[in-house]
Amino acid sequence: MSDGSEMNNKGQNTPVLVIGAGIAGIEASLLLADSGRKVYLVEKTSYTGGNVIKFEELFPSMDCATCMIAPKQQELLANENIELSTLSQVEAVSGSFGDFSVKIRKKARFVDLENCIGCNACFDPCPVEVGNEFEEGLSKRKAIYIPCAGALPNVPVIDTENCLRFKGQDCQACQEACIFEAIDFTQQDEELELKVGAIVVATGFSMFDPSKTAQYGYKKFSDVYSAMEIERICASNGPTQGQIIVQSGEPPKSVAIIHCVGREEKGYCSSVCCMGSLKLSHFFKKKLPKVKITQFYSDLCIPGKAYQKFYEEVKESGVDFIRATVTEVSKPGKELAIKYKTEDSKENSLNVDMVILNPALEPGAESSKLAEMLNILQSKEGFFSEKEPDLTSVATAREGIFIAGCAQGPKDIAETVAEAEAAAGRILALSK
Amino acid sequence: MAKKIGVYVCECGGNIAEKVDIEKVITAVSPLKNVEVAERHKLLCSEGGREFLKQSIAKHGLTHVVVAACSPKQHEVTFMNVCKEASLNPQLFQLVNIREQCAWVTPNGEEATDKAIRQTRAAISRVRYHSPLEKKETECSPDVLVIGGGIAGIKASQLLAAPDRRVYLVEKTFSLGGKVKSFSKLFINMESGLSLMEQEIKSLLGNENVEVLTESEVEQILGFLGNFEVKIVKKAENEELNFNVGAVILATGFDLFNPKGLPQYGYGKLDDVYTSLEFEEMNIPDGPSGGKILLKNGKPPESVAIIHCVGRKEKDYCSKVCCLYSLKFDRMLKSQLPAVKVSHFYPDLCIPGKSFQKFYEDTKELGVEFVRSAKTEVAGNAKGTTIKYETETGSKGDLVADMVILIPAMESSSDAQKFAEMLNIPQDEKGFFAEEHQLLAPVASAVEGIFVIGCAGGPQSISESIVQAEAAAGKILSALVPGRKLELEVRTSEISEDFCTGCKTCIDVCPYGAITFNETRRISVVNEVLCHGCGSCAAACPSGAAKLRHFTFSQIYQELKEVVR
């Protein structure tokens, strides 16, 4: 047997580009790196973990998401074969399988990754306060910030759109507060040129904006929330430290969860929302045992061996399920009023303290740009297209370019992880 | 050799120094037994700090090192690497977290200092008992055994086979192709399952790195990741084959729930009530009916009822793919018999994902009727077969149909238990093989080196099964690189031969199947390749025979003693 260094077939040991450091990108990177491959992991935000780390707990086991993902994030940062570029985006791709050239634009963080120890001393003196995107705008952050406690890498970033210094004022409050001299206003954006043999696209999903469906009163009435807002409200590291309260300052006595928000507009079932809604019910019942929960749904989609039991447990905890179409949410008084129509065309209404809208999953905002750069196809819904839908979901029509996770279409975490491993498998097998 | 311990307290800029009185810590620990040197540094993890540490270890000829600084999550590896550079075994090092656990969480400075002193003392006390554990490596085979010659097994074999990696594919029946080869059409592109399988099988049989063993049974698998010994019996020749592999993939598929147990559907009693697989067989071009959809009386049906979720309640889960393939049946019916009336009876329509809503809507436009029914029964009378249904709100109806297609739940294969016992891997409460982790390790089993793909792990579509085949291949290609040795966990457990009473408690608690029982010596034995060093056995062992290296009783007592002193 050789010691591995003698293998020199075409494509063998070429580096791999992974786009997106959510759970799919992390898993694919770790497998590829463990096999001995060099991996360039490119992430547009300042942190790893993607959407998954926004969730307090994950169905159906209700294990803590951060606790589950953090060891993988740590492993990622410690792995010598993985070069992580945060605040980075792909600008151009040329070449073909075995020999892609990739241009990456890496935005300056203005905080040195080596020197910073993540002590947060720079936040306090910053005079700027803006809504924190990570928290769906439900809490404030400074112009120098870490999006949430426990973000990795645990190093802040300066948001140049809001930082006074970058608006021309002479502020260096954060720099003065940093005893490690980690803040460096002179950092410049960088252009990286990479040579890679294969590419994994793991750019995840966005959430359908419920304000596009006027009947639900989202952003019109207080106490109408999107599911992601509620995920953050339920999170112990979130804006309310996990406390569920409505505008009045009281915990809600009654909650309605409306499924399939945007399903008709998008034209597909988003796979995970029924389970997501059950999970939110479970959270609420745990935190507020007396709360009355009503779910409005059309079809219950809880596919696979593991989910039925969770549904039954939630149902038994006293959650009502009404199969109906919600026609209007209004706020005639203190409470929200829900008008709905059942399948046998009976109209009815229900008053609640809080409404949660569970929106469709849609393709990431910049999917089209990326598809064009990579020269891969998108489905009419905007997700990246697989070459053979009846066979595998991870191979695109372009050799050497693979997709994993919700960038390909809505799916749950287990399916996402399997796809990430599958993409790694295809790449490692391609060059054997 | 006399022990010489170096203690280094990090100020972490002001992060520790502003709360913890570092001089007090140094003064408190300096006189302790074996402490050769105790010093402070502004920032030990910095380049200057690491160099200082390295030189100090050499200068004082230290045998053990304690660093009081931040969380081990942050810099344990950093300082262990410094030890290595200074030619000190990194296991002879202990990190104390006086930042996250003292300075940042204890508001009172004196209390924080007291806590830091206790924790540092505890580390000094413990580190004396550390052993210079060494990293070990072991040889491993890159070859793979794949059990089950359906689509998942075939795809996994194709991906894995290479000149330096042999794949053995074992199939118990006389031919490859599994259930998919009897599907005349696949959703959603409506291509032929048979021709797909023919191509796949042809390419597999042409692959000289795959040994296909049909009509063969797996008799025994012993061993562990990288080193499994496999015994196969070729039934036709009555020949026994023995070989070694590094990993095993279970692709043993599923069985269909038998509707005979549910009399309300009339299956087995009424004519023209079929299961989904029977309907698939009817559509195979070279099948008994020549691919024609015909009733028992030889005539094509004028009306067909498709009943969803047969056995769902009994199995207590949704089989995921039934709604989708029942829509495929509509297409098959309508293309062969354009005038046929098709009605679905279903409680919930489950068509997850980006592609299926459109497939459903297009199917509906062909003139297929969907009746939501909470309770559906099939009864026979003079007129023929009648479907009786009841909606959720209690209204009832009935409909006469010439043909009834039952869509039964998918259940675990009848072989599942045999393999679960042979490989010592758990089944979930539904009988499918359980994943190592439901979300993060969907194709790994609880035993390292054994993978589960396709419907052997639970209901899934063809495309999901293939993704899992590729995923298992990814895990194996990543872990078992030809020519590379397996690196073993340093902090594993060991069981003392002298103290072990053979009670097997440790075997029950080990989550990795890393402990086996030696029948001749009547003792439990730890396999270091599989042990993850979790310590469950050490905690459970009633006779103190199991111990976890680096977390021995003396190390833990020494540490605790100083914390509570």
Write out the DSSP string of A20-75. Answer: --SHHHHHHHHHHHHTT--EEEE-SSSSSSTTGGG-SEETTTTEEHHHHHHHHHHH
Terminal alpha carbon distance of chain A: 15
Under 8 Å CB pairs connecting chains A and B tally to 229
Both A333 and A389 in one domain: the answer is: no
CA dist B233 and B216 (Å) reads: 6
Is A131 inside any structural domain? no
The whole-number pLDDT of residue A432 equals 57
CA dist A40 and A79 (Å) reads: 12
Mean pLDDT of chain A: 94
Both A349 and A281 in one domain: the answer is: yes
Residue-wise pLDDT tens digits, B287-331? 888 999 999 999 999 999 999 999 999 999 999 999 999 999 999
- Hey, how many other C-beta atoms are within 10 angstroms of the C-beta on B213? 19
User: Cβ separation of B440 and A343 shorter than 8 Å?
Assistant: no
Confidence of residue B393 (pLDDT cuts 50, 70, 90): confident
| Nearest chain B Cα distance for residue A213, angstroms | 20
Is B489-549 a domain of CATH 3.20.20.70? no
User: Cβ separation of A421 and B475 shorter than 8 Å?
Assistant: yes
Is A80 inside any structural domain? yes
Distances (CA, A) of B345 to B337, B378, B524: 20, 11, 56
Q: Nearest to residue A230, comparing CAs of A295, A279, A293?
A: A279
CA angle A5, A7, A10 (to 5 degrees): 130
Mean pLDDT confidence for B270-282 = 95
CA dist A409 and A393 (Å) reads: 9
The whole-number pLDDT of residue B73 equals 83
Is A426 inside any structural domain? yes
Is A53 inside any structural domain? yes
Q: Which of A309, A379, A392 sits opposite B316 (nearest CB)?
A: A309
Residue A348 contacts B where some CB pair is shorter than 8 Å: no
Residues of A in contact with B483 (CB under 8 A): 1-4, 6-7
Both A347 and A285 in one domain: the answer is: yes
Q: What's B267-398's CATH class?
A: alpha beta
Q: Which of A269, A392, A428 sits opposite B474 (nearest CB)?
A: A428
Which of A1, A390, A427, A430 should one mutate to test binding to chain B, selecting the residue with the greatest count of B CBs within 10 A? Answer: A390
CA dist A289 and A269 (Å) reads: 30
Both A298 and A401 in one domain: the answer is: no
Both A324 and A266 in one domain: the answer is: yes
Confidence of residue B165 (pLDDT cuts 50, 70, 90): very high
Confidence of residue A8 (pLDDT cuts 50, 70, 90): very low
Both A99 and A240 in one domain: the answer is: no
Is A288 inside any structural domain? yes
Both A100 and A247 in one domain: the answer is: no
Residue A381 contacts B where some CB pair is shorter than 8 Å: yes
Does residue A115 contact residue A182 with C-beta atoms inside 8 Å? yes
The whole-number pLDDT of residue B288 equals 86
Residues of B in contact with A391 (CB under 8 A): 196, 462-463, 466
Report the complex ipTM: 0.94
Which of B100, B467, B476, B486 should one mutate to test binding to chain A, selecting the residue with the greatest count of A CBs within 10 A? Answer: B467
Q: What's B144-253+413-479's CATH class?
A: alpha beta
Residue-wise pLDDT tens digits, A159-215? 999 999 999 999 999 999 999 999 999 999 999 999 999 999 999 999 999 999 999
Residues of A in contact with B464 (CB under 8 A): 393, 415, 418
Is A137 inside any structural domain? no
Interface of A with B in 8-27 (CB under 8 A): 27
Say yes or no to pLDDT of A9 above 50: no
User: Cβ separation of A179 and B159 shorter than 8 Å?
Assistant: no
The whole-number pLDDT of residue A67 equals 86
| Percent of chain A residues past pLDDT 90, beyond the cut | 88
Residue B107 contacts A where some CB pair is shorter than 8 Å: no
Query: Looking at domain B5-133, which of 3.40.50, 1.20.1160, 3.30.460, 3.30.160 is its CATH number?
Result: 3.40.50
Given A328, A360, A392, the domain boundary residue is: A360
Residue-wise pLDDT tens digits, B497-556? 999 999 999 999 998 888 999 999 999 999 988 898 999 999 999 999 999 999 999 999
β pairing state of A292-297 and A254-261:
parallel
Mean pLDDT confidence for B120-137 = 95
The domain ranges of chain B are: 5-133, 144-253+413-479, 267-398, 489-549
| Percent of chain B residues past pLDDT 90, beyond the cut | 89
User: Cβ separation of B354 and A379 shorter than 8 Å?
Assistant: yes
Both A324 and A356 in one domain: the answer is: yes
CA dist A56 and A280 (Å) reads: 10
What H or E segment, with its residue span, contains residue A137?
none
Residue-wise pLDDT tens digits, A329-384? 999 999 999 999 998 899 999 999 999 999 999 999 899 999 999 999 999 999 99
The residues, any chain, with a CB within 8 Å of residue A189's CB and separated by 6 or more, are A105, A106, A107, A108
Given A360, A395, A417, the domain boundary residue is: A360
Q: Which of A267, A394, A411 sits opposite B357 (nearest CB)?
A: A267
Residue A377 contacts B where some CB pair is shorter than 8 Å: no
Does residue B432 contact residue A305 with C-beta atoms inside 8 Å? yes
Q: Which of A3, A383, A392 sits opposite B467 (nearest CB)?
A: A392
Given A360, A381, A410, the domain boundary residue is: A360
Say yes or no to pLDDT of B42 above 50: yes
Q: Which of A78, A115, A418 sits opposite B468 (nearest CB)?
A: A418
Nearest CA in chain A to B139: A1
Burial readout B102-113 (b: 16 or more C-beta within 10 A, e: otherwise): bbbebeeeeebb
Range of the domain at A247: 208-360
Q: How many domains does chain A have?
A: 2
User: Cβ separation of A60 and B438 shorter than 8 Å?
Assistant: yes
Mean pLDDT confidence for A93-105 = 96
Mean pLDDT confidence for A374-395 = 94
Both A290 and A317 in one domain: the answer is: yes
Amino acid at B300: P
Residue B471 contacts A where some CB pair is shorter than 8 Å: yes
Both A240 and A270 in one domain: the answer is: yes
User: Cβ separation of A68 and B348 shorter than 8 Å?
Assistant: no
User: Cβ separation of B354 and A268 shorter than 8 Å?
Assistant: yes
Residues of A in contact with B73 (CB under 8 A): 74
Residue-wise pLDDT tens digits, A244-283? 998 888 999 999 999 999 999 999 999 999 999 999 999 9
When mean pLDDT is compared over A61-65, A386-390, B13-17, B247-251, the highest value belongs to B247-251
Confidence of residue A5 (pLDDT cuts 50, 70, 90): very low
Both A54 and A196 in one domain: the answer is: yes
Residue A414 contacts B where some CB pair is shorter than 8 Å: yes
Residue-wise pLDDT tens digits, B106-115? 999 999 999 9
Say yes or no to pLDDT of A6 above 60: no
| Nearest chain A Cα distance for residue B458, angstroms | 6
CATH number at residue A74: 3.50.50.60
Mean pLDDT confidence for A31-57 = 96
Confidence of residue A36 (pLDDT cuts 50, 70, 90): very high
Mean pLDDT of chain B: 94
Does residue B344 contact residue B304 with C-beta atoms inside 8 Å? no
Is A182 inside any structural domain? no
Residues of A in contact with B316 (CB under 8 A): 308-309, 312
The whole-number pLDDT of residue A12 equals 67
User: Cβ separation of A390 and B358 shorter than 8 Å?
Assistant: no
Residue-wise pLDDT tens digits, B338-365? 999 999 999 999 999 999 999 999 999 9
Confidence of residue A38 (pLDDT cuts 50, 70, 90): very high
| Rg over CA atoms, chain B | 32
Residue B452 contacts A where some CB pair is shorter than 8 Å: no
Is A146 inside any structural domain? no
The whole-number pLDDT of residue B187 equals 85
β pairing state of B254-256 and B410-412:
antiparallel
The whole-number pLDDT of residue A64 equals 87
Say yes or no to pLDDT of A431 above 90: no
Confidence of residue A11 (pLDDT cuts 50, 70, 90): low
Are B267-398 and B489-549 equal in CATH topology? no
The whole-number pLDDT of residue A4 equals 36
Length of chain A (residues): 432
Mean pLDDT confidence for B21-40 = 97
Does residue B473 contact residue A425 with C-beta atoms inside 8 Å? yes
Mean pLDDT confidence for B79-99 = 96
User: Cβ separation of B352 and A271 shorter than 8 Å?
Assistant: yes
The whole-number pLDDT of residue A418 equals 98
The whole-number pLDDT of residue B191 equals 86
Residue B316 contacts A where some CB pair is shorter than 8 Å: yes
Both A97 and A194 in one domain: the answer is: yes
